[in-house]
């Protein structure tokens, strides 16, 4: 062998097959999710104003900052450049009401990253969806703040005007119906005239001809990410088409909710439920497309994904219709996250040539 070959041979890289790899990467996938959330983010800013922007910046800043600090303290490589903390921050912000104090975004962000993610081992090892677990933590710790979003987003074109409903603590249509309107309709005499009036106004807003359209376009109150289904779906379609999220989970989840809502959700007996109302409220769109599809916390097998999705739907409707909370998406998903390792274990596919 001559000298040139000797030199060049020493520079040949040797590694295991396969020797070509897909261009997809974790940062790439995370960035795609961020891009998909941008329409809803812009919608939140439009409907809720500068507070939405501030909360989002604080949430993302604290998740990224917490991850950086945590990994430095642990002595492990810093992986904030995989953008997973950014996604967590965005989703956390979308779970906060617009009048949440600034420190809630920070506390939630730190909790999501340090307790729910890093302590379990970081990306890929967490059992629960960090943003949802943080929301549950905030809800348990500061329930009045989390639930009392007394601002309705202003009508289109009027940016600072808000409609406040005094004296009644309500945030979302579901809460209104469950906590305020249903009892009122059952026993109107127990309430003051203003309360009855306000409830009637609210009910008109929701049961008017554009009630669910309003939910779709985003004119009804809620947390930052729960308002505009249209903008969320726009982002979700992008993720589905590009194959970044598996279609089975949203389909299974929404399908189950739709079916159960139709059968059990109506006030006047079976098969009279308002399917669109249930689909479009309570953060279900955000949950079904962006939370339940989180890869780390959902099953890896196809059959497992269906079971997970249907389970989420079942639990969501159970909590909504029979449970103490008006909204069941967060807890349903968190409970199914808990079941995921077991689901994976029991849904191993039959191998090629297997018995």
Partner 1 sequence: MLKETTFRGGVHPPDSKSATREKPTRTLKLPSKVVLPLSQHIGAPLEVCVAVGSEVKVGTVIAKPTGFVSIPLHSTISGRVKAIGEALHPTGVRLPAVEIEGDGEDKWEEPATDGKKYSDLTPDELKECIRNAGIVGLGGAAFPTHVKLSPPPGKPIDMFIVNGAECEPYLTSDFRQMLERSKDLIVGIKIVQRILGSEKVLIAVERNKPEAIEVMDRLCREALNYEVVPLKTKYPQGGEKQLIQALTGRQVPSGGLPMDVGCMVHNVSTLLAIYDAVTAGKPLVEKVVTLAGEACANPGNYKVRVGALVEDILKEVEGGIPETLGKIIMGGPMMGIALPSLNVPILKGTNGLVLLAEPVPLSLHRQCIRCGRCVDSCPIRLLPCELAVFAEHQLWDKCREYSVKDCIECGACGYTCPAKRNLVQLIRFGKYTVMSQDRKKEKK
Instruction: Say which residue the tokens 């726009």 belong to.
Output: 234
CA proximity to 199, closest of 166, 242, 241, 232: 166
How near is the Cβ of 27 to partner 1 at its closest, in Å?
A: 9
Specify the residue, 24 or 194, whose C-beta has the smaller distance to partner 1: 24
Is the previous residue joined to 18 through a cis bond, with omega within 30 degrees of 0? yes
Which are the contacts of 26, defined by CB distance < 8 A and separation ≥ 6? 82, 83, 84, 123
CB 104 within 8 A of CB 51: no
**Residues contacting 9, CB < 8 A, separation 6+:** 1
Q: Which residue number, 13 or 186, has a Cβ lying nearer to partner 1?
A: 13
Q: How far is the CB of 335 from partner 1 (least distance, A)?
A: 18
Work out how close the CB of 307 gets to partner 1 at its nearest, in angstroms, rounded to a whole number: 14
Shortest separation between residue 243's beta carbon and partner 1, angstroms: 9
The Cβ-side half-sphere exposure at 219, using a 13 Å CA radius, reads 17
Say how far apart CA 338 and CA 340 lie, in whole Å. 6
Q: Torsion over CA of 193, 198, 204 and 207, rounded to 10 degrees?
A: -100
Q: CA dist 55 to 48, 60, 89, 99, 233, Å? A: 11, 9, 10, 9, 22
Residue 168 or 249 having the CB closest to partner 1: 249
* Of residues 68 and 325, the one with the C-beta less far from partner 1: 68
- Least separation in angstroms between CB 351 and partner 1: 5
- Residue for token digits 């500068």? 50
The strand pairing partners of 223, in sequence order, are 97
Q: Give the span between the Cα atoms of 292 and 38, in whole angstroms.
A: 19
Burial of 308 (0-12, 13-18, 19+ CB in 10 A): buried
Q: Which is nearer to partner 1, 22 or 209 (CB)?
A: 22
Cβ 4 to partner 1 shortest distance, Å: 6
Comparing CB distances to partner 1, the nearer of 4 and 209 is: 4
**Which residues of the chain form contacts with partner 1 (CB under 8 A)?**
1, 4-5, 8-9, 11-22, 24-26, 28-29, 79, 82, 121-125, 246, 295-302, 305, 344, 348-355
Which of 149, 293 has the CB closer to partner 1?
293
- The residue among 48 and 128 lying less far from partner 1, judged by its C-beta, is 128
Q: What is the 3-state secondary structure (H, E, C) of 137-159?
A: HHHHHCHHHHHCCCEECCCCCCC
Give least dist CB 29 to partner 1, A: 6
How near is the Cβ of 283 to partner 1 at its closest, in Å?
23
Q: How many Cβ atoms sit within 10 Å of the Cβ of residue 18? A: 7
Task: State the SS3 of 199-249.
Answer: HHHHHHHHHCCCHHHHHHHCCCCCECCCCCHHHHHHHHHHHHHCCCCCCHH
Compute the least distance from the CB of residue 242 to partner 1, in Å: 13
């Amino acid at each position: 062998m001559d000298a040139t070959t000797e030199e060049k041979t020493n520079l040949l890289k040797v590694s295991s097959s396969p020797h070509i790899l897909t261009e997809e990467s974790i940062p790439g996938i995370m960035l795609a999710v961020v891009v998909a959330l941008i329409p809803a983010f812009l919608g939140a800013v439009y409907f809720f104003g500068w507070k939405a922007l501030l909360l989002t910046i604080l949430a993302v800043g604290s998740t990224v900052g917490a991850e950086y600090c945590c990994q430095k303290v642990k002595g492990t490589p810093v992986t904030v450049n995989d953008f997973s903390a950014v996604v967590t921050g965005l989703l956390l912000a979308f779970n906060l009401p617009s009048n949440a104090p600034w420190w809630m975004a920070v506390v939630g962000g730190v909790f999501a990253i340090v307790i729910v993610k890093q302590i379990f081992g970081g990306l890929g090892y967490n059992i629960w969806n960090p943003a949802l677990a943080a929301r549950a933590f905030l809800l348990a710790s500061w329930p009045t703040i989390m639930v009392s979003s007394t601002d309705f987003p202003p009508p289109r074109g009027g940016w600072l005007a808000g409609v406040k409903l005094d004296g009644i603590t309500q945030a979302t249509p579901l809460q209104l119906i469950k906590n305020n309107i249903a009892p009122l309709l059952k026993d109107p005499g127990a309430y003051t005239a203003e309360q009855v009036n306000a409830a009637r106004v609210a009910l008109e807003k929701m049961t008017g001809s554009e009630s669910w359209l309003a939910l779709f376009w985003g004119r009804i109150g809620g947390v930052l990410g729960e308002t505009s289904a249209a903008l969320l779906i726009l982002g979700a379609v992008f993720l589905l088409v590009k194959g970044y999220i598996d279609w089975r989970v949203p389909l299974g989840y929404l399908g189950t909710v739709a079916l159960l809502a139709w059968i059990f959700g109506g006030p006047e007996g079976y098969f009279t439920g308002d399917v669109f109302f249930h689909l479009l409220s309570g953060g279900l769109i955000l949950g079904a497309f962006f939370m339940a599809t989180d890869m780390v916390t959902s099953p890896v097998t196809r059959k497992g994904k269906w079971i997970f999705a249907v389970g989420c739907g079942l639990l969501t409707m159970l909590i909504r219709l029979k449970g103490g909370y008006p909204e069941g998406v967060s807890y349903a998903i968190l409970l199914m996250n808990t079941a995921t390792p077991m689901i994976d274990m029991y849904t191993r596919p039959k191998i090629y040539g297997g018995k």
